[in-house]
Amino acid sequence: MIIILLGPPGAGKGTQAKILCQRLKIVHISTGDILREAIKSNTALGQEAAKYVERGELVPDSLVTKMAQERLTCDDAKEGFILDGFPRNLSQAESLDEFFNSNGLLDYSVIYLETSETTIIKRLTGRRICKNCQAVYHLINVPSRKEGICDTCGSELYQRPDDSESTIKNRLQVYERMTAPVVAYYSHKGKLLHISADNEAEKVIEAILKFLGKDS
């Protein structure tokens, strides 16, 4: 099964993808996670990508498309995958189409997590992440038991630098300009499922599983 998750930053793509990949036994491929990992390990890709990620800009297609395709051809993606954060502009969507066509992957679902701006700002400014295991918390919606400390591994929580209010504004503008056309692209293909992602996470997952026929 192949699922593409679309939606603005803060829509909950990562949260939903993590639950879905467990339920459906397929891998979660997040280009944002891969880039943050590359930045942390200070690889050549990470060094190049850091300046874009920090500003909330898109990392150039020449870097991201190759990175995504390499990940998609790994063995663990053979049974299916959930793409989170890719494609993020029309050129990435077109290259993904080519990749799907040349690999005979014709059956995929595109889920659009529609989210209001108020929800987006609240979710992103309250988001906190574990430095060690990358578990995601929220100051109000999903607080850790002990403030600033990960429930799972006891490490410190941090705020993603691009979750600061000024960078969020830029990410939203980039989203409108670059990624909103991707939503229209899949909608024209008749591939798009709209889900209202302002609801709490459990309701959203329920709606997605129902659509996929996996709700029993």
Q: Which residues bind ligand ADP (CB under 6 A)?
A: 9, 13, 31-32, 35, 52-53, 56-59, 64, 85-86, 88, 92, 162, 171
From ligand ADP, Zn ion, none, interface partner of 135 (C-beta below 5 to 8 A by class): Zn ion
Cβ distance to Zn ion smaller for residue 60 or 158: 158
Among residues 36, 71, 123, 127, the one annotated as catalytic is 127
Tell the smallest beta-carbon distance from residue 185 to Zn ion (Å): 37
Separation CA 206–CA 216 (nearest Å): 10
- Residue whose tokens read 């930045």: 39
Return the residues of window 118-177 that contact Zn ion according to CB under 5 A: 130, 132-133, 135, 150, 152-153, 155
> Among residues 40 and 214, whose Cβ is nearest to ligand ADP?
40
Catalytic residue chosen out of the listed positions 71, 123, 128, 171: 171
171 carries an active-site annotation: yes
> Which of these, 77, 96, 73, 85, lies nearest to 26 by C-alpha position?
77
Count CA atoms within 13 Å of residue 183 on its CB side.
Answer: 17
Q: How many CB atoms lie within 10 A of CB 18?
A: 16
Instruction: Name the residue nearer to ligand ADP (CB basis): 59 or 82.
Output: 59
> Strands 127-130, 136-138: parallel, antiparallel or unpaired by DSSP?
antiparallel
**Minimal distance, residue 84 CB to ligand ADP, in Å:** 7
* Binding partner selected for residue 150 from Zn ion, ligand ADP, none, CB under the kind-specific 5 to 8 Å limit: Zn ion
Amino acid at 137: Y
CB nearer ligand ADP, residue 150 or residue 162? 162
Q: Given the DSSP bridges, would you call strands 27-30 and 127-130 parallel, antiparallel or unpaired? A: unpaired
The site partner of 86 among Zn ion, ligand ADP, none (C-beta below 5 to 8 Å per kind) is ligand ADP
Query: Edge-to-edge, what's the strand order for the sheet holding 2-6?
Result: 27-30, 81-84, 2-6, 109-114, 192-196
Our finding on whether 43 is near Zn ion (CB under 5 A) is: no
Choosing among ligand ADP, Zn ion, none, which partner's interface includes residue 127 (Cβ < 5 to 8 Å by kind)?
none
In angstroms, the CA 195 to CA 14 distance is: 15
DSSP 78-134: TT-EEEES---SHHHHHHHHHHHHHTT----EEEEEE--HHHHHHHHHHEEEETTT-
Which residues bind to Zn ion, rule: CB under 5 A?
130, 132-133, 135, 150, 152-153, 155
Query: Which positions are annotated as active-site residues?
Result: 13, 88, 127, 160, 171
